[in-house]
A and B are shown apart, each in its own frame.
Chain A
Amino acid sequence: METVKVIINGKEVEAPKGKLLLEVCFDAGFPIPNFCYYKDLPPQAACRMCLVRIEKMGRLQTACTMRVSEGMVVTTESEEIRRARMAMVDFILANHPLDCPVCDKGGECELQWMAMNYGDLLARFDEQKDATGEYPLSPFIWLDPQRCILCYRCIRVCDEWVENHALGVRGRGAHSVIVGNRPDGTLACEHCGNCVEVCPVGALTSTNFRFRARPWDIRDTVTTCTYCSDGCQLRLSVRDGRVVRAWAKDLTKMDAEFANKVLFSFRTAPETRHNWINEEFLCLKGRYGNEFVNSPDRLRVPLLRRNGRLEPATWEEALKYVAQRILEIKRTYGPESIACIGSPRLTNEDLYVLAKFGRQVLETPHVTHAMDVDWRPFFKRLTVPLLTQPELREQMPTILLIGGNPPEYNPLTAYSLRAAVHRHGARLYIVSARPIGRLQVATRFFHIRPGSEPAVWLALLDEGEVERAAEATLLTREELYELRRFVWEADRLALLVGREVTGPALEAAAVLGGMLQAKGERIVRVLPLLRFNNSLGALDMGLVAEMLVPEQVGPQIKALYLMGCDLVRFYGDAWRQALARAELVVAHELFLTRTAELAHVVLPAMSFAELDGTFTNNAGQVQRIRRALGVAGDWRPDWMIIDQIAAKMGADLGCRHSAANIFREIAETIPGYQGITYARLNEEGAIQTERPLMPLEVIDRARLLERLRAQVEAIDHTAERLQEPAPLGIGLFEPGTLTEHVPLLRQAFGWDVRESVEVSR
């Protein structure tokens, strides 16, 4: 990269040619005040706060739009600049209320900080301010137009990060107002709240957080999101034992003094890094979906079925009952009559202890978890490493997405895809049976017949199959050849595999990377778009037995040990009868779910906000979750419950009372987790596990092609392409076992919980 030498305040600095002056100054230790600048967003130069003097240039220049060139001599602090900034603050405050004590942003407001540091405390404007009221733009987002300083951050974020294009500015000059995309000015969007996150002032606020806490009476904990498999990091703000918000702002990017003095001073641990895989992005669920932990419906004490009804019991009673019944059933029917089913939402620690309990104490082969797609063949035949989000954003010039709907089910992946295009012009090819909204940045879109994804993989693997694939997919041969060239000629290729890809096609997705790499010097990474936050962790922890079918319960399976999985909701009503046939159903739960209602023992577990532990995301990265909340109910971590039951059965699972101890054992025994510790996770953020890769020679490719061909033959060749894009919010707005307990989401989307029959969580 070509570098240039510039002199900033007398200090010689070397910087990449063309980098923004503001960023060069920041890196050189001369932060420049600004509002409208935002890293990675297109420069706006709206606020004019970042004025600097550049020699040989007539006027003061905006550092946020100026690109450095050789020999530039810059002054960032002088009397002239001080006065200019003071005037800008005065100007910005001309119509801004000076009532910080009643503003929701007070205490963490960038304008407040700028006014105190760069402003003149005597305003020169004495005209009447143009007072307007605040109003909601959506059930989640409020606007106070008078506080808006028109930095356009929200608009740019909406365009670039989420491609909703839902915000704009109506009017001109002093009368400009931020408006939403409905004719009445409200918002029709996915309500991700990223606009609220980047707002430097109190103009945009979140319904759930506004006026509920002050920055100095909340405590923040950095943890991992509990929804999709992308694994965003987020900061949970807790006040009085309740989660009041989730946010992801990169505090290290801000004026260091502001961050240290204002933003860090009340928080538990100063964050000196922000190496989050999601940068500053969160989706609707990550931001607004966490308040289920505060729900009054949470189970607070163990429940035991007595005379046909679930009644409160003590832990001692409940645990003793479970231990006794399990021993009886094991003795009567044999160990194979007991099944352990975990949830892909739980921590690695919980799942590991469940697996160990199942294998060593119960001695049953039925140790598994609730899966929506069987990804086991994919991970078994993986030939290239998994793709992380930062790699996707920064290092992959060629990206192919087959199946899936990232904006709905893996919002961070969608963000990273857009970033890859915006930041370095990556070429993004999408193959999908449905048009995908909010990925218009794609270079090419290949519209295929629904269900014909396997045929695309077949054509990619074997040139000789293009004809067959064309017939199955409704693509032309030329289009399939184009896809083949795209993949086979790429130097660095990212393959994204959606959940529509199943069976042999999934194996093909795992194998193609290896085939490409064997062909020549190139890098291929693959990203499976798994469903849940710890789907991969559940596989890694060994919950890999075949999932039961309800018919097995009764004749074969007598006892079900369910950890956080609502089988009735997830797999349907057939499980109701199955549960009734079982002699013992034990359920660890947060809520009295449809499954828990039918259990014999319900044990109240801790939520992700109350636990220490780890999740493994779809890139195989292990990340910490951290305890953010104190104890508000008589609940226990899942692993601890099992440990105590095992103890009552005379076994020691070696948990030794801490998740950290369990993770130490995981690191010793689970392949790929070696060397990972909580200490390292705290230091490094996400650590990618090293997955065992299958050498290409071992794979019987002829046999795989044969099975893939059979899969392609089975495609319904009469189905038509789906013309309508999936409706906005099909994944994000659907109620699940957790989200239905979030009052804001229920209200906003009008969910009637009991009526809902969606097969989802």
Chain B
Amino acid sequence: MLSAGAKEKIQRIIARYPVKRSALLPVLFVVQEELGYLPDEALHEVARWLDLTFLDVETVVSFYTMFHRRPIGRYHIQVCRNVSCYLCGGDAIREHLERRLGIRPGETTPDGRFTLSEVECIGACSWAPAMQINFTFYHHLTPERVDEILASLP
């Protein structure tokens, strides 16, 4: 399921911790980077590597919005909806994205390019309103700036 490179990377991560289960989050990120999402088989595999149960792994994955159990778009747009962003017009940004992409939060564009999500605070309150596309932050957003950003994506 995984490339040799990813497997090696995972072994290195596991070796870093005195207790195997501590490696769970970084290992999951490697797997997701490789597969794009975390299917059941991958979770079983991770559980085996770390001497955990499937339930242990699955409940951790379900806690974090940054892990995906289903395939998602190439660009995962996460709009903050928490207090600071909300007060600075975060909902207008979300509405603009919905209109622009023609999807609602939780959906993926038919071409598989974008997935839109609403998330709680992403730690960018002082530059609100903010969003995150994959692992890049974009802040001080306006609808125009959002258009620029989307156009600039390869």
Contacts and interface: CB of A to CB of B under 8 A. Distances in A.
Interface of A: 165-172, 179-181, 183
B63 A166 contact: no
B56 interface: yes
A179 B63 contact: no
Nearest to A173: B120
Interface string B39-69: 0100000000000011110110011100000
A168 B40 CA distance: 16
A172 B54 contact: no
Contacts of A183: 40, 54, 58
B126 to A, nearest CB: 24
Contacts of B58: 168, 170, 183
A183 B96 CA distance: 37
A168 B63 contact: no
B85 to A, nearest CB: 18
A170 B40 CA distance: 14
26 contacts: A165-B53, A165-B55, A165-B56, A166-B55, A167-B55, A168-B55, A168-B58, A168-B59, A169-B59, A169-B63, A170-B58, A170-B59, A170-B62, A171-B62, A171-B63, A172-B62, A172-B63, A172-B64, A179-B59, A180-B55, A181-B53, A181-B54, A181-B55, A183-B40, A183-B54, A183-B58
Q: What are the 3 tightest A-B residue pairs by CB atom distance, in nearest-first order?
A: A168-B59, A181-B55, A170-B62
Contacts of B40: 183
Given A169-B59, A169-B63, A181-B54, 19 more contacts: A165-B55, A165-B56, A166-B55, A168-B55, A168-B56, A168-B58, A168-B59, A170-B58, A170-B59, A170-B62, A171-B63, A172-B64, A179-B55, A180-B55, A181-B53, A181-B55, A183-B40, A183-B54, A183-B58
Interface residues of B, number: 10
Contacts of B56: 165, 168
A96 B63 CA distance: 21
B152 to A, nearest CB: 32
A163 to B, nearest CB: 11
Nearest to B43: A183
A179 B59 CA distance: 9
A157 to B, nearest CB: 15
Q: Which of B40, B56, B63 has the most CB of A within 10 A?
A: B63
Contacts of B54: 181, 183
Nearest to A440: B51
B37 to A, nearest CB: 16
A188 to B, nearest CB: 10
Nearest to A175: B62
Contacts of A180: 55
Q: Which of B40, B56, B62, B63 has the most CB of A within 10 A?
A: B62
A172 B62 CA distance: 7
A165 B53 CA distance: 8
Contacts of A165: 53, 55-56
A165 B64 CA distance: 21
A169 B56 CA distance: 9
Contacts of A169: 59, 63
Contacts of B63: 169, 171-172
A158 to B, nearest CB: 10
Nearest to B60: A168
Q: Which of B40, B53, B55, B63 has the most CB of A within 10 A?
A: B55
A388 to B, nearest CB: 33
B69 to A, nearest CB: 11
Contacts of B53: 165, 181
Nearest to A165: B53
A503 B62 CA distance: 54
A69 to B, nearest CB: 28
Contacts of A166: 55
Q: Which of B53, B56, B59, B62 has the most CB of A within 10 A?
A: B59
Nearest to B120: A173
A180 B54 CA distance: 10
A169 B64 CA distance: 12
Contacts of B55: 165-168, 179-181
Contacts of A179: 55, 59
Contacts of A172: 62-64
A172 B40 CA distance: 19
A181 B58 CA distance: 9
B90 to A, nearest CB: 19
Contacts of A171: 62-63
Contacts of B64: 172
Contacts of A181: 53-55
A555 to B, nearest CB: 59
A660 B33 CA distance: 73
